[in-house]
Chain A
Amino acid sequence: MDIYLPIAEVSVNAGILVLLGAVVGFISGLFGIGGGFLMTPILLWMGIPPVVAVASEANHVAASSASSVISYSRKRQVDFRMGGVLAAGGAVGALLGVEVFRWLRLMGQADLVVSLSYLIFLGLIGGLMLVESVGSVLRQRRGQPPAKRRDRRPVWLYGLPFKVRFPRSRLYISVIPPIILGVFVGILSAIMGVGGGFILVPAMVYILRMPAGVVVGTSLFQIIITTSLASILQAGRNQSVDIVLATLLLLGGVLGAQFGARASSRFRAEELRALLGLIVLIMGLQMGLVLFITPEDPFILVGSGK
């Protein structure tokens, strides 16, 4: 059934949107990520204007993250204090990001920056995840012991002022690194229409050295706050949230996320990470491809008045 979206002003198939929401929601629950990095490009390919896709997707990510965070919190896998600090940074980042995106759109460079961000961030992180997790899967197959994690935490993390105790993460570190991380992810969430879990999760593991058990839940918690805020800001400043689009996506999304979260216990963490790395890498390359191939038409309409 085709449905006309009031803000995007295009007609799309409602069934496909619900299905897409469910598939991306499943992946989101499976890996404990928002899934925005998958959904936003798909929406763009469907012909949804980039501004609307990015803004409505923030809304959808908030829903699927809310759907899975509750189960993580029941298992005491959410560090609310760390999530709060990250979200404070995320709020500042989202504010900045919405303004940056507005300006980029006026300069006609929004498409370029979106493609470039996908290529750089997804390509880099996907590649790293793939290499790291394939390495550990291979080691396991060969019966070698897993590579020793460097337990020595980086000195700079401890040398900084404003130290705070994070009991659930068993950390006593400065709030500056998590805040900077939060700002960075907030900007990305406004520009790329993603939650930023694919950056947060590795950053929490490798930079903040948080215990693996609380990483996903905490990342989801911070994503809910950041994307909710980004969504309200996009609606308020740019009038670009399509509530019909977001609702169709989240109908499938919240259900898919639940099934995904259940399925996740059947896989090994390394295999999941390898698969996620592969998906992230492919998505980044696919979005970045447009920068390298010679365009069919050298001219492009960059959003009419709106």
Chain B
Amino acid sequence: MVTPALPPPAIVAPEPGPTVSAALTDANVRVTSAFSGAQIVLYGAVFDPETRPSDVVVIVRGPDQPIRIARKVRVAGLWVNSRPVVFEGAPGFYMAASSRPLTEIASFSTLRRLGAGIDHLPMNAPEEERIETRYGVRDVVVSRLGGDYLEWRRAVIRLKEKASLYATDHEGVRFVDRGLFRAEIDLPTSAPIGEYQTEIILFQDGEPVSRRARTITVEKAGLERWLFLFANERPWMYGIVSVLIALTSGWLASVVFRRR
């Protein structure tokens, strides 16, 4: 459920050089039984004494979630799953919105350093790796996936994008007025629970000149939270209660119907 609560406009002390500022319409997403995803609007402003061309990039990174991915292979005419590969370090939700395509805003190395954009997500499959000495160089990390690594990685991103959990939007940050911009963050129903780190980066001449961080918290609330905690903290009791509900309702129905 999204409760619109616009915080008062931030008063920014005049600083030398350009700065960026931003606020979220909703920093706390409550997952209740009516939850069907949420849309959060991010408003921001660029304060720049001079009027240099500015680009804004908004990156939302959900809690890390190990990803297990398998490849379908044909064995004796049947499509079966290969042994799954576990990717670590990938977020459960990722969105990169920008005012222009990222590659036009900054150089590859700058983007890589900032971890800006899906192509720059650090994703490893540690179980597939081993450390070797190659050509006399020690501690070289070698992946069992070898050249296929990129294909696996692309598959992770493709599947996550299909589930609306990863998104890249080259026009996601829109300047609505001089120096004033907005971006929308769409959380699907399957968005993981936890803290979402939102980073707003102001680029000028291909260099990040100002950064702001905001946090979105997605948490289960109300009955959903209570049941989830019950299921995870006292699983055996939870199981017994659910079976009792089942058996009692079965018995009740047969009693009610017998009277009729």
B159 at the interface (CB under 8 A from A): yes
Chain B residues engaging chain A, CB cutoff 8 angstroms? 31-37, 65-72, 77-84, 92, 152, 155-156, 158-160, 163, 189-190, 192, 220, 223-225, 227-228, 231-232, 235-236, 238-243, 245-247, 249-255, 257-258
Q: How far is the CA of A6 from the CA of B253 in the complex (A)?
A: 26
Contact A235 B71 (CB under 8 A): no
Q: How far is the CA of A299 from the CA of B232 in the complex (A)?
A: 30
Contacts of B158 in A (CB 8 A): 297, 299
Contact A236 B228 (CB under 8 A): no
Q: What size tier do the contact residues of chain A reach?
A: 35 or more
Contact B251 A67 (CB under 8 A): yes
Q: How far is the CA of A4 from the CA of B35 in the complex (A)?
A: 6
Contacts of B81 in A (CB 8 A): 108-109, 111-112, 300, 302
Chain A contacts with B in 28-60, Cβ cutoff 8 A: 59-60
The residue from B34, B66, B159, B250 contacting A67, defined by CB atoms under 8 A apart: B250
Contact B36 A11 (CB under 8 A): yes
Q: How far is the CA of A297 from the CA of B84 in the complex (A)?
A: 15
Contact A300 B69 (CB under 8 A): yes
A298 at the interface (CB under 8 A from B): yes
Contact B31 A4 (CB under 8 A): yes
Q: List 12 A-B contacts (CB under 8 A).
A: A7-B231, A11-B35, A11-B37, A59-B243, A70-B255, A235-B239, A243-B227, A250-B250, A292-B79, A300-B72, A302-B69, A303-B68
Given the contacts A292-B77, A294-B79, A300-B159, A243 and B245 also touching, CB distance less than 8 Å = yes
Q: How far is the CA of A232 from the CA of B32 in the complex (A)?
A: 25
Contact A6 B224 (CB under 8 A): yes
> Closest residue to A108 on the B side, CB-wise?
B84
Contact B242 A231 (CB under 8 A): yes
A2, A71, A107, A108 interface centre (most CB from chain B within 10 Å)? A108
Contact B34 A6 (CB under 8 A): no
Chain A residues engaging chain B, CB cutoff 8 angstroms? 2-4, 6-7, 9-11, 59-60, 62-71, 107-109, 111-112, 116, 224, 228, 231-237, 239, 241, 243-244, 246-247, 250-251, 254-255, 257-258, 290-295, 297-305
Q: How far is the CA of A299 from the CA of B163 in the complex (A)?
A: 14
Q: A6-B224, A299-B69, A299-B72 are in contact. List 17 more A-B contacts (CB 8 A).
A: A4-B35, A4-B189, A4-B224, A11-B189, A66-B247, A67-B251, A70-B254, A70-B255, A107-B83, A108-B82, A232-B236, A232-B243, A239-B235, A243-B231, A243-B242, A257-B253, A291-B78
Contact B65 A304 (CB under 8 A): yes
Given the contacts A59-B246, A63-B246, A243-B242, A299 and B253 also touching, CB distance less than 8 Å = no
Contact B83 A247 (CB under 8 A): no
Q: How far is the CA of A246 from the CA of B244 in the complex (A)?
A: 12
Given the contacts A62-B243, A228-B243, A291 and B80 also touching, CB distance less than 8 Å = yes
